[in-house]
Amino acid sequence: MWNRGISVLYSAKEIEDRIREMAAEINAMYAGKPLVLLCVLKGAFMFFSDLAKRITVHPEIDFVRLSSYGNCDNSSGVISFTKDIEITIINKHVLVVEDIVDTGATMDFLCRQLKARGVASLRIAALMDKKERRAFPVKVDFVGFKVPCGFVVGYGLDYAEKYRELPELCLMNVRD
């Protein structure tokens, strides 16, 4: 336990094992195809790094940054595109790598933007899929873990820009 109100949901070992399994699935799906791995910053950076090291199909790599949370535990409802991709994705297979898909608002926004650019295919790999609050019809194609209600921090995910450094995925009581 890191402090009062935070408890481990998935250990570093469980995360590592699941990422290896996901990478094998991704490698099988994209064998022989022009793949672009697209990291959604900031939350997915640790997951993305560990996943990318295990992708053997020689993908191109790029980053995008979207914002919908600010300094609180609830989405503001306004999505801002603060860093766009820099490479061409026309006729390429794009795999968006995200930390957590919750309401689906951010992924719905991003997927609509990417599809309009003429991708060959578009899929999502998320470390966590949290369907209980899903408000948009977003399908996560490669799921690390299904998570229960609650606020998750660690392994790149934050609460008010804190706790990203934790090596585990942890549930946080944001009311403490």
Among 99, 102, 129, 158, the one annotated catalytic = 102
The kind and range of the H/E element at 109 are helix 105-115
The kind and range of the H/E element at 113 are helix 105-115
173, burial (CB in 10 Å: exposed 0-12, middle 13-18, buried 19+): exposed
pLDDT at 1: 40
pLDDT at 75: 53
What's the whole-model pTM score? 0.89
**Regions of the chain short of the pLDDT cut 70:** 1-4, 69-77, 175-176
Give the pLDDT confidence of 113-146 residue by residue, as tens digits: 999 999 999 999 999 999 888 999 999 999 999 9
Question: Any catalytic annotation for residue 102?
Answer: yes
**Angle (CA) 139 60 41, round 5°:** 55
pLDDT at 22: 98
**Per CATH, which fold does 13-60+85-147 belong to?**
Rossmann fold (3.40.50)
At 15, is the secondary structure helix, strand, or coil?
helix
Phi, psi for 32 (deg, rounded to 5): 75, 10
